[in-house]
Every structure is written in structure tokens, then in C-alpha cells.
């Protein structure tokens, strides 16, 4: 059974790119467009990995991650934070929120794929 | 007078020393040469004798050996050999009895076979037929008649020698004899050399063969260790022609000996003859002792002679010396008595003459000194008087009377006059201002002013401006002409002679000094001069007093003006101190103006459109002031401010109660205001306000006060203007700051917004290139790749704009943490290596060992270094790029050097500005935004460091980052 990856991202284009990329190499991708939905889908679907954008409407990525990580049922799912401002301190914040990895925007699809493969094999 | 210097060494000692030195020198040189010559002679003679003795000894030894040879000789005759063996045996025994030196005799036949051996130390053998044909003792005589073996030793102590004698006829055998050389001693002992001399023999190796002390021989002593023996052995081996000489050496008993050697060629021995040096040189010593005695005798004789001579010279010199000492000590009556009849006596006489002359000179001098002393006393007297007068001038400069009194008193006394007077000029007449010792009868005549007609007694002095004296008053023209005052002086005052000295200042007569005597006669020149001096001093006193008065007036004026200036500068200080707050400045102006111009109150009013309103005033509870505070003044005749507004010039109302047009009389009465002054405040020809001063009594403000008030008014204008400008500038800069913040915020937002779609474009492009959407034709792939690289470049530009705007908006925060500088350098090298090698450049990094851990924003510092290295690679076409990182005390220094085109001095500041590159063509050629250096510089500055460039055209460039190792807080980015 192929691995499932939850991508929480509000920009359609970015979702499209990630979708095309991941499906082309055989992953299954599920999507959420804001932080709140992201938490919901994660709880419901229990994906193998979550790519969490940080700047999200309704609930931002840090908060969403905190919620996922405070839930017994979803705690184990690795979360990779994707930040758009590559500001110093973002990485620390991401770790503080419970993220397991960190990817600064702009990233190239190759970079993303490498990171995902490192997590899921 | 200094004392006579005592002689350090007396003449006496010098004489004796000199004589002895000379005699000793002569004797020593003379005898020295003598001794040396005789030594040389003696040496030569001794050497010769010694040599002869050696030769004789050698001959003796040789003879001894020859004797043995001869003894054996007869056994070599052919007929003897042909005899029976018994016969030969018998003969050998006989021979050995006769010659004790022979120890063994052997008879050999022609083939070297032993026929017979007779020995003292072994068995006698007959016909042993032993084969000697290869023995050197036999072979030795094959080519000569006699053969001597080298010395050899038996029982390690006795010298032996083999002697082989060939028999007559060819190969007819030989007689071999072993000879004990111990017995040569007798020969040696027989040789007599002096008393203690001796001779000895050595072989060619220096081994002792014979010596008077036989034990030395028995001990087989090696004489070659003695240096002179060795030398003789060497000489024997050397040239035969060289005449051997006697030498000095050391013998076995460690004695110095004179040694001579002679050789015995046949045996190759050397005979030495030695004589102890003491004995050899005995005659020389005798001669030396004789010389010494002669020297002592000579010295004694010289000392005696010198003593006699010196005594003869010294006695008169001592007399001279003692005499000269007494004369020198001041006893000029002393005479020196030397009767030696020579130069010393002449010297004595010269001293005596000198003493006489000195005596005379002294007598003259004493007279002169006495006269001078008297003169000096007078001068001192005069100087004392002068000094006292000057002291008075200096002490009481305002009051002239004590000075004049003192001048008259001293003048009268010093000029031996009876009384004196001093007049000063007042217009045309002279008025008496001081007098001394006036006869009472004259007193009534001195109240009147004195006219200065030419016929008066003082006329000549006044007109010529020089001292004038009348030797006999009764004969003077003034007396004859009937000058009343003069007649009174003469007839009632008893004046018979007088001296008048004018007091002149810069060619102007200002007074007159007269002294009078009761007797007829001339005043001496010195008296005239003295009085002239006193007159000059009187002038000084008068001038002094005048100047002092003037000075006082001036300084009063000066202090007043200083007060004004101080006030002005105080006001200016307040203006410059509070540029943004007008009220305290205007209040200070008002207070200062009121104080300085003796006004009761002062207030300032400023114009607002057509009206004037109160702005500031002195603190006061005056109802008048309270009232005007609330009022608006319009141009009009009813108020001072209104009038000034109409006419635009300074105005004064001397008494408001007396002014028919003034409309606030009741208010003025309430406040007690009488006089009003208004000064307009004018800026660039436009009135901006009025300053008003009040007085509670009627008194107009003086011109000077008005002048000062105008200055204050100007200052008030400046203050108002200052505040206006300051407020304006503040407002403008606030707006500017806001605008700048808006711009930065806008840029930050915009770059972020630009990045989002660009990321999507780049992401799709990459997916396309990676074939996610199916295989692409090559052309399309090429286009996509170019699209991607352009997009990356655009992203880079946007990122830099974002960085810069963040810095400008103050949004960029450093993450301060520990970092390793070497790791940063490694990262940057790893990231740029491929770029450098693509351009064929060498990229080197030199990082000092043991760099301390730094504290700063690692990512930002890496960004700076990446930018610098990237630039260096971008702008360098060949050569190398080098990174050097070191720590110097509390700072890191990271230098990035390249071999690129370099940067001209005038461009070196420009490159750090935003959007600047050296020129636009290079921007186009090399790419980039021109923001990198601006950002780098700011990042370094935020770390509290500096980014410096060192470069010249054609010399490459070095960018140097200097930053603190430990950054504890983020700095403002300049």
C-alpha cells in the first residue's frame, strides 16, 4: 500500500505542484487548505506524513502542528513545516511547535522529494 | 688672593732624579752593549770548542773500534785461514783473552759454513758446519771488507755489535766477532770536557751505547727523547755539509747543557759532548757582576753630584719664593735679598722694583677711592631722594601734593638752597601748588596768580623751556623792570639768586619749579641737572594722575558695555538652549531688557494676522500687565502697540497721563505706569511683534538704552524664527520617516507577493524538466531550463530587495548564537568551488588554527561571505580568489582577495550604495542587482563590525570584514 501524505497548503498552485510531484513517484496525497482543516483531516485520515505550510488562514501552521502533536492519535505522524519567510528563528519556532522537519520556501520539488523520501523511504 | 701653590715635587728631588736617570742610562746602555757582544763572542767560542771536543771524542771512539778491528784483523789473512783447526782455536782463545770486549768469535768458510765458534757465554763448537750463507753477518761482507751490524741488546741491557771481517781473497770466508760495547765507557770516561762535562755515544736510533754513567746504558736509555739529541739525529740524516753547531739543551738530569755532536760515519753513531751551561757561561756571569757593581758606583756618584748642584740652585730660589709669597700676601715693604750674582739675583731685583711700583699705585688708588666714595654718597643721596619721589608717585597717584612737597624738600636740601616753590599752569596764569620753607614775610604775596610776561623773573625759563638761573637777583632785568612779585621775593624774601626749571610734557609747558638762595652765586651743573630730573619726575606725577583719571572713566564705560554684552550673550544662550520652546526665551529677553534698562516691566507681543497678542513678560502682579495679557491690539493711535503697528518704528510715550490720544489712562493709573517704550520686532521688513517696556515714574529711555533694546528686539526675532524653523523641520522629518517606513513596508510586502507566483512558476518548470508530465522534446527542455535559470535570477533579486527593505524597515533581526568561523568559510567554499573552477579560477581558503568560537548570526555572516566570494569570482576573469580568516584580539578579520580588475578609488564608496555597480555595462555583463554589498555592509554593521574595501585599478580587490568575535547585541544598521 502506497504511503499517504497530507499537504496543508492554501495556494492552489503549490498544492498542484506537490500533488503532481508526489503522485508521479507513487505516493498518495490528501489535501487541506487551512490549519483547521489540516487538523481535522490528520485526525480522520492518519496520514504517514504531513507537509504543513506555516502561513495559513483560520489557524496557522504552528498552532495546527501543536494540536496534531497534542493528540494521542496523531502524535506519531511526522510533520514537516514549510515556511515562506526564510527568517532566522523560524526553524526554532517550528521545533518548538513540535515539527519534525523544516523546509524553507522557495523550495524546489527535488528538495521536497528528497526530504519526503528521507522520512518515508 | 690665592695662596702660593705648593710645589708638588721639589726641584731638589727633580735634580737628583734627573742626574741618576742620565748616569744610569749611560752606564746601562754602555755595559749592556759590552755584555751582549762578549756574550756573543763567548757563545761562539764555546760552541767552537765544544764542537772540536765532540769531533775529538768521535775520533777516540772510532779509534777504539778500529783498534778492535785491527786486533781481529790478523785472523783474516789467507795463510791464517789455511792453518789447522787447532791452531785457529788456539788463536781465537788468545784473541779473546787479549781483547776483553770480544764475547764470541766465529770462523766461516767461503761458502758461509761455520768452521769454528769460540764464545765466552756459550759452548765452543768446532766444525758444526752450520749454514751462515743467508745470515746478514756473512752476506754483509760479500761486497766489502768490514761489516758492522746495528747495535743489539743482550739481556735487554748490554749493547752489542757484530763485526764481520772478510778474509783476503775472493770468497775465502770470514771472521765474525760479537763485541760488547759496554767497554767503550772507558773511552768515553777518558774524554775530559771542562770540570763537569762529559761525553756519550748513541746509535742512529738515539739508543745509548756508551755513557759515563754505565747504569744509563744498562737501562738501555732512549736518548732520542731529549730534544737536542733528536735535533742532532735529524741533522745527521739531513745535509752533511752543514756544520753542526753546539746547541743548548736539557740533559737527563734536567740540567741546562751546552751540547755538541759529531758523527762516526762508518758506524752510524753520534758522539755527544755536553757541558753544563753554568760552567760554560761562568766568564759571562763574572762580567755581569762587574757591570752591576760599576752601575751602583755610578749611581752613587751621580746622586752625590746632583745633591751638591741642586743645593746650590735651590737655596736662592727658596729665598725668591718666600719673598714673592710675602709680596703676594700684601707685604709690599718686604725686599728680597739674593746675592748669587746670576739670573736669580736679577729676578730678585725685578721683584723688588715691582713691589715699589705697586706701593706707589696703591697710594694713588686710595686717594681716588676716597674722592669717588664722596661722589657716590652724593649720588646715593640723590638716588634715594629720587626713589622716594618715585615711590610717592607710585603710592598716591591721585594726590599730587605729597609728591610736589617731597620734590621741593629734597631739591632745596640737595641744591643747598633756602626755599622753593612749584607752580602749575592754568590757562595763561601760573598758580602756586606747593612751597617749601618760605620766609613768612613772603606768604602774603603768594596768593595771587603769576603772570608770565617776558620781563618776569621766570619768563626766560618759560619761553626757552630750558632751566634758567639768575646769579644776582638785584642785577636781573626783571628786578630792574620792576616785576612786583620778583621784587617782593628779593626785597622781603631775601632772595639773591634763583634757579627756575620748566616742567615740559611733549613740548608743552605744564609747570615750573624754582629754588632760591639767600646769597649771590651760580648753581652748579649738577644742581641744574638734579632739578631737571625732579622737574621730569613732577611731569610724570602729573601725567600719571591724569592717565589714572582717564583710565577710571574708561573702565567705568567698559564695564557698562560689558554688562550689556553679557546680557546679550545670556539671551543668545537661552535662545540656542531651547530652540523649540519660545516662551522661556521671550521671557528671558523681557527680564533682561527690563533689568538692564531700569524698566519696571517688560512684555513681548506677537503679531497674528492684523492683531498683536501678548506672548511673554516679566513676572509681575501689575493690573496693567494682567489687563494687556488678555487684549488684542489693532493698529490705532489709542495704544502704543497700535501706533507702532501703524508706523512700523520705535516709539516712546514719556508720560501716558499727559498723552491726549492714549486710550488706557485708567489702566495705566491703576498699574502706576507712566513712561512707555515700544520697540518693533521686524523680520525681513515685516513686523512680527512689539516689545514694550514700562516705568512707574516719568523718565525717558536714553539713546544708549534704546540701542540695547533694539539688539534685544532683534534677538527676540531670531528666537521666534528659530522656533518656527525648528517646528517645521521636525514636522518634515516626521513625515519623511513615515514615508520611508511605508516604502520599506511596501517593498517587503511586494517582494513577498512576487515570490509566491514565482515559486509556482519555478516549481512547475522543474516538474516539467524532470519529466513528471511526460517526456519533452529537447528544444522545449532547453527553453524550460533557460526559463528556470531566469526565474532563479529573478527570485534572487526579489530576495535581496526583500532583505534590504527588511533591514531598512528595521525588521531584520539577527539570531545571535555561537558559531565556528571555519565552518562558515568551509560552507562558502563548498558553495562557490564549482563557480570558480568553471571560470578556471583558483579558490583558496586560509583559516587560522585555533580560532575562538564566535557569537553572531551564522546564516547572515555566511550570506555576507558568500556575496563577497561570489562577487570576487564574478568579476575576476583569471587568477585566483583567496579567503583569509584570522582573529586579532577581540575581532575576527575575514579578507576576500581577488586578482580581478580592481576598483578605482572614486568608485569605492559607491559600490556599497544600493543599486550601484562600478558601471552599468558591468551590471549588464556580470548580472546581479547591485544590492549584495549594500546588504552585506549592513549585516556586518548590525554585528558591530565594518566592511572595508582595499583596491586599485589593475591591482585586484580585497574586501575585509572586521567584526567582534562576540556580538552581545544587535547594532543599528547605518
pLDDT digits (tens, 9 = 90+) for B62-77: 888 888 888 888 777 7
3-state SS, B628-656, equals HHHCEECCCCCCHHHHHHHHCCCEEECCH
E strand or H helix that includes residue B277 = helix B277-280
Pairing of strands B152-154, B146-148: unpaired
Q: Identify the CA nearest to B476 among candidates B462, B452, B495.
A: B495
Q: Are B583 and B610 in contact (CB under 8 A)?
A: no
pLDDT, tens digit, for every residue of B750-799?
A: 777 787 788 888 889 988 988 888 888 888 888 888 888 888 888 877 87
Query: Running DSSP on this structure, what letter comes out for residue B77?
Result: S
Residues B149 and B260 in one domain: yes
Per DSSP, A55 falls in state: S
Q: Is residue B214 domain-shared with residue B259, that is, in the same domain?
A: yes
Q: Pairing relation of β-strands A101-104 and A79-83? A: parallel
Tell me whether B752 touches chain A (CB under 8 Å).
Answer: yes
Q: Do both B885 and B928 map to the same domain? A: yes
SS3 B816: coil
- B538-583 pLDDT, tens digit per residue, is 888 888 888 888 888 888 888 878 888 887 787 777 777 766 678 8
Residues of A in contact with B773 (CB under 8 A): 20
Smallest CA–CA distance, residue B912 to chain A, in Å, is 24
On chain A, the residues whose CB falls within 8 A of the CB of B772 are 20-21, 24, 109
* Residue B974 confidence (pLDDT): 56
C-alpha cell at B652: 516712546
- Report if residue B939 sits inside a domain: yes
Pick the last residue of a domain from B263, B279, B300: B300
Q: Answer yes or no: is B805 within a domain.
A: no
Residues B660-715 have pLDDT tens digits of: 888 888 888 888 899 999 999 998 888 989 999 999 999 999 888 888 888 888 88
Please indicate, yes or no, if residue B938 is contained in any of the structural domains. Answer: yes
B754, part of any domain: no
Contact B767 A110 (CB under 8 A): no
Chain A contact for B940 (CB, 8 A cutoff): no
Task: Calculate the CA dihedral of residues B403, B405, B407, B411 and round it to 10 degrees.
Answer: -170
- The per-residue pLDDT of chain A, averaged, comes to 87
Range of the domain at B534: 396-551
Rg (CA), chain B: 71
Contact residues on chain B for A54, CB-CB shorter than 8 A: none
The angle at the Cα of B874, spanning B873 to B875, to the nearest 5 degrees, equals 95
Look at chain B and report how many structural domains it folds into. Answer: 4
What CATH number does residue A54 fall under?
3.40.50.2300
**Is B412 a domain residue?**
yes
Question: Chain A to chain B, count of Cβ pairs less than 8 Å apart?
Answer: 51
Q: What is the pTM of this model?
A: 0.36
B460 lies in some domain: yes
Query: C-alpha cell of B154?
Result: 743482550
Q: What is the pLDDT of residue B87?
A: 82
Residue B2 falls inside a structural domain: no
Q: How far apart are CA B187 and CA B102, in angstroms?
A: 16
Any idea what the CATH number is for the domain that residue B169 is in? Answer: 3.30.450.20
For residue A88, give the nearest of B755, B773, B815 by CB distance.
B815
Q: What is the mean pLDDT of residues B328-356?
A: 83
| 3-state secondary structure (DSSP) of residue B580 | coil
What is the pLDDT averaged over residues B586-607? 88
Residue B541 in any domain: the answer is yes
CA A94 to each of CA A64, A112, A119, B589, B816: distance values in angstroms, whole numbers, following the listed order:
11, 17, 17, 65, 18
Q: Which chain B residues are closer than 8 Å to A85 by Cβ?
A: 752
The continuous run of DSSP H or E covering B715 comes out as helix B703-769
Spatial neighbors of B548 by CB under 8 A, at least 6 apart, are: B397, B398
* pLDDT of the residue at B157: 67
From first to last of its 121 residues, chain A has per-residue pLDDT tens of 689 999 999 888 889 999 999 998 899 999 999 999 999 999 999 999 999 998 888 898 999 999 999 999 999 999 999 876 655 456 778 888 888 988 877 778 888 899 899 888 7
In this structure, the answer to whether residues B547 and B565 fall within a common structural domain is: no
Look up the CATH number of the domain holding residue B654. Answer: 3.30.450.40
The total number of residues shown for chain B amounts to 974
The CATH number of the domain holding residue B841 is 3.30.565.10
For residue B615, the distance in angstroms to the closest alpha carbon of chain A comes to 55
Domain end point (choices B267, B300, B333): B300
On whether the CB atoms of residues B848 and B885 are closer than 8 A, the answer is: yes
Please name the member of B762, B767, B813 whose beta carbon is closest to the beta carbon of A21: B767
Residue in A with minimal Cα distance to B751: A85
> Are the CB atoms for A49 and A120 separated by under 8 Å?
yes
A105 and B759: CB-CB below 8 Å? yes
Nearest to A17 among B763, B857, B860 (CB): B763
A57 vs chain B: nearest CA distance in angstroms? 16
- Does B755 contact A20 at a Cβ distance shorter than 8 Å? no
B266-309: per-residue pLDDT in tens? 777 888 888 888 887 787 788 788 878 888 888 888 888 878 87
Q: Which of A108, A110, A111 to mutate to test the interface with B (most CBs of B within 10 A)?
A: A108
Of A24, A105, A106, the CB nearest to B772: A24
pLDDT at position B242 is 46
Cα–Cα dist B66/B427, whole Å: 160
Query: Could you tell me the CA-to-CA distances from B796 to B696, B786, B789 in Å, in that order?
Result: 81, 15, 10
| ω into A106 cis (within 30 of 0) | yes
Could you give phi then psi for residue B410, rounded to 5 degrees?
Answer: -70, -40
CA distances from B440 to B446, B447, B489, B492, B500 (A): 11, 13, 11, 9, 21
For residues B571 and B542, membership in a common domain is answered with no
Residue B429 DSSP SS3 = strand
Q: What is the number of domains present in chain A? A: 1
Summarised one tens digit per residue, pLDDT across range B219-252 is 777 887 787 888 777 776 654 444 456 777 788 7
Amino acid at each position: 500500500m502506497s504511503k499517504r501524505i497530507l499537504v496543508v497548503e492554501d495556494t492552489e498552485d503549490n498544492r498542484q505542484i506537490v500533488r503532481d510531484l508526489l503522485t508521479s513517484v507513487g505516493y498518495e496525497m490528501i489535501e487541506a487548505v487551512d490549519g483547521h482543516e489540516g487538523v481535522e483531516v490528520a485526525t480522520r485520515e492518519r496520514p504517514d506524513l504531513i507537509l504543513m505550510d506555516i502561513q495559513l488562514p483560520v489557524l496557522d501552521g504552528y498552532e495546527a502542528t501543536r494540536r496534531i502533536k497534542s493528540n494521542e492519535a496523531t502524535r506519531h505522524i511526522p510533520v514537516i513545516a514549510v515556511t515562506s519567510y526564510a527568517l532566522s528563528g523560524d526553524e526554532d519556532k517550528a521545533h518548538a511547535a513540535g515539527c519534525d522537519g523544516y523546509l524553507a520556501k522557495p523550495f524546489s520539488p527535488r528538495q521536497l522529494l528528497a526530504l519526503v523520501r528521507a522520512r518515508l523511504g | 688672593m690665592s695662596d702660593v701653590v705648593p710645589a708638588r715635587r721639589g726641584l731638589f728631588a727633580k735634580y737628583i732624579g734627573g742626574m741618576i736617570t742620565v748616569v744610569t742610562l749611560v752606564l746601562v746602555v754602555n755595559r749592556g752593549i759590552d755584555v751582549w757582544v762578549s756574550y756573543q763572542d763567548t757563545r761562539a767560542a764555546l760552541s767552537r770548542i765544544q764542537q772540536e771536543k765532540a769531533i775529538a771524542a768521535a775520533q777516540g771512539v772510532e779509534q777504539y773500534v778500529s783498534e778492535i778491528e785491527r786486533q781481529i784483523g790478523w785472523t783474516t789473512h789467507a795463510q791464517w785461514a789455511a792453518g789447522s783447526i787447532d791452531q785457529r782455536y788456539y788463536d781465537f782463545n788468545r784473541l779473546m783473552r787479549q781483547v776483553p770486549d770480544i764475547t764470541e768469535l766465529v770462523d766461516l768458510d767461503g761458502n758461509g759454513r761455520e768452521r769454528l765458534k769460540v764464545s765466552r757465554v756459550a759452548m765452543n763448537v768446532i766444525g758444526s758446519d752450520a749454514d751462515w750463507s743467508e745470515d746478514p753477518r756473512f752476506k754483509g761482507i760479500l761486497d766489502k771488507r768490514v761489516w758492522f751490524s746495528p747495535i743489539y741488546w743482550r739481556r735487554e741491557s748490554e749493547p752489542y755489535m757484530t763485526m764481520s771481517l772478510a778474509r783476503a781473497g775472493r770468497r775465502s770466508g770470514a771472521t765474525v766477532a760479537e763485541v760488547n760495547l759496554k767497554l767503550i765507557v772507558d773511552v768515553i770516561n777518558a774524554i775530559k770536557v771542562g770540570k763537569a762535562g762529559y761525553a756519550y755515544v748513541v746509535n742512529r736510533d738515539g739508543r745509548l751505547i756508551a755513557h759515563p754513567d754505565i747504569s744509563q746504558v744498562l737501562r738501555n736509555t732512549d736518548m732520542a727523547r731529549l730534544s737536542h739529541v733528536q735535533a742532532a739525529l735529524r741533522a745527521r740524516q739531513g745535509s752533511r755539509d752543514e756544520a753542526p753547531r753546539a746547541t743548548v739543551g736539557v740533559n737527563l738530569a734536567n740540567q741546562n747543557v751546552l751540547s755538541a755532536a759529531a758523527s762516526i760515519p762508518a758506524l752510524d753513531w753520534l758522539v755527544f759532548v755536553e757541558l753544563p751551561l753554568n760552567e760554560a757561561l761562568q766568564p759571562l756571569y763574572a762580567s755581569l757582576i762587574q757591570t752591576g757593581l760599576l752601575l751602583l758606583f755610578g749611581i752613587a756618584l751621580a746622586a752625590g753630584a746632583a745633591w751638591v748642584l741642586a743645593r746650590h740652585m735651590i737655596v736662592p730660589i727658596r729665598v725668591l719664593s718666600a719673598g714673592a709669597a710675602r709680596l703676594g700676601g700684601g707685604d709690599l715693604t718686604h725686599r728680597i735679598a739674593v746675592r748669587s750674582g746670576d739670573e736669580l739675583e736679577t729676578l730678585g731685583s725685578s721683584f723688588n722694583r715691582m713691589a715699589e711700583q705697586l706701593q706707589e699705585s696703591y697710594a694713588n688708588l686710595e686717594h681716588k677711592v676716597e674722592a669717588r666714595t664722596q661722589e657716590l654718597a652724593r649720588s646715593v643721596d640723590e638716588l634715594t631722594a629720587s626713589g622716594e619721589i618715585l615711590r610717592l608717585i607710585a603710592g598716591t597717584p591721585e594726590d599730587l601734593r605729597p609728591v610736589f612737597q617731597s620734590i621741593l624738600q629734597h631739591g632745596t636740601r640737595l641744591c643747598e638752597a633756602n626755599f622753593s616753590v612749584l607752580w602749575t599752569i592754568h590757562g595763561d596764569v601760573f598758580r602756586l601748588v606747593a612751597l617749601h620753607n618760605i620766609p613768612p614775610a613772603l606768604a602774603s604775596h603768594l596768593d595771587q596768580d603769576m603772570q608770565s610776561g617776558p620781563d618776569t623773573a621766570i619768563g626766560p625759563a618759560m619761553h626757552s623751556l630750558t632751566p634758567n638761573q639768575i646769579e644776582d637777583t638785584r642785577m636781573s632785568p626783571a628786578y630792574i623792570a620792576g616785576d612786583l612779585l620778583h621784587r617782593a621775593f628779593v626785597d622781603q624774601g631775601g632772595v639773591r639768586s634763583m634757579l627756575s626749571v620748566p616742567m615740559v610734557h611733549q613740548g608743552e609747558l605744564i609747570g615750573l619749579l624754582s629754588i632760591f638762595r639767600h646769597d649771590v652765586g651760580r648753581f652748579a651743573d649738577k644742581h641744574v641737572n638734579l632739578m631737571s630730573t625732579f622737574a621730569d619726575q613732577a611731569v610724570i606725577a602729573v601725567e600719571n594722575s591724569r592717565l589714572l583719571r582717564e583710565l577710571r572713566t574708561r573702565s567705568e564705560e567698559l564695564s557698562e558695555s560689558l554688562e550689556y554684552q553679557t546680557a546679550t550673550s545670556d539671551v543668545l544662550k537661552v535662545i540656542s538652549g531651547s530652540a523649540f520652546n519660545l516662551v522661556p526665551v521671550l521671557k528671558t529677553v523681557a527680564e533682561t531688557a527690563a533689568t538692564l534698562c531700569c524698566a519696571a516691566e517688560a512684555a513681548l507681543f506677537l503679531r497674528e494676522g492684523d492683531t498683536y497678542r501678548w506672548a511673554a513678560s516679566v513676572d509681575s502682579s501689575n493690573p496693567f500687565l494682567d489687563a494687556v495679557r488678555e487684549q488684542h491690539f489693532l493698529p490705532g493711535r489709542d495704544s502704543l502697540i497700535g501706533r507702532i503697528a501703524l508706523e512700523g518704528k520705535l516709539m516712546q510715550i514719556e508720560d501716558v497721563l499727559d498723552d491726549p490720544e492714549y486710550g488706557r489712562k485708567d489702566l495705566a493709573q491703576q498699574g502706576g505706569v507712566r513712561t512707555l517704550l515700544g520697540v518693533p520686532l521686524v523680520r525681513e521688513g515685516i513686523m512680527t511683534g512689539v516689545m514694550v517696556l514700562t516705568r512707574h515714574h516719568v523718565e525717558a529711555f536714553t539713546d544708549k538704552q534704546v540701542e540695547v533694546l533694539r539688539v534685544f528686539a532683534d534677538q527676540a526675532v531670531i528666537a521666534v524664527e528659530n522656533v518656527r524653523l525648528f517646528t517645521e523641520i521636525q514636522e518634515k522629518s516626521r513625515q519623511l520617516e513615515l514615508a520611508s517606513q511605508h516604502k520599506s513596508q511596501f517593498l517587503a510586502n511586494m517582494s513577498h507577493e512576487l515570490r509566491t507566483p514565482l515559486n509556482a512558476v519555478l516549481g512547475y518548470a522543474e516538474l516539467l524538466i524532470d519529466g513528471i508530465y511526460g517526456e519533452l522534446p529537447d528544444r522545449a527542455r532547453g527553453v524550460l531550463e533557460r526559463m528556470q535559470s531566469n526565474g532563479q535570477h529573478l527570485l534572487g533579486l526579489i530576495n535581496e530587495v526583500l532583505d534590504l527593505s527588511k533591514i531598512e524597515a528595521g525588521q531584520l533581526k539577527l539570531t545571535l548564537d555561537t558559531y565556528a568561523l571555519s565552518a562558515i568559510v568551509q560552507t562558502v567554499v563548498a558553495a562557490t568551488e564549482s563557480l570558480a573552477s568553471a571560470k578556471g579560477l583558483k579558490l583558496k581558503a586560509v583559516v587560522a588554527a585555533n580560532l575562538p568560537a564566535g557569537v553572531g548570526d551564522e546564516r547572515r555572516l555566511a550570506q555576507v561571505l558568500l556575496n563577497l566570494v561570489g562577487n570576487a569570482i564574478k568579476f575576476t576573469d583569471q587568477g585566483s580568489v583567496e579567503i583569509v580568516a584570522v582573529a586579532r584580539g577581540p575581532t575576527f578579520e575575514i579578507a576576500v582577495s581577488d586578482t580581478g580588475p580592481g576598483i578605482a578609488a572614486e568608485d569605492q564608496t559607491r559600490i556599497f550604495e544600493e543599486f550601484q555597480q562600478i558601471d552599468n555595462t558591468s551590471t549588464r555583463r556580470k548580472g546581479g542587482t547591485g544590492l549584495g554589498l549594500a546588504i552585506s555592509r549592513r549585516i556586518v554593521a548590525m554585528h558591530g563590525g565594518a566592511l572595508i574595501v582595499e583596491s586599485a585599478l589593475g591591482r585586484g580587490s580585497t574586501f575585509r570584514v572586521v567584526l567582534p568575535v562576540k556580538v552581545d547585541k544587535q547594532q543599528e544598521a547605518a
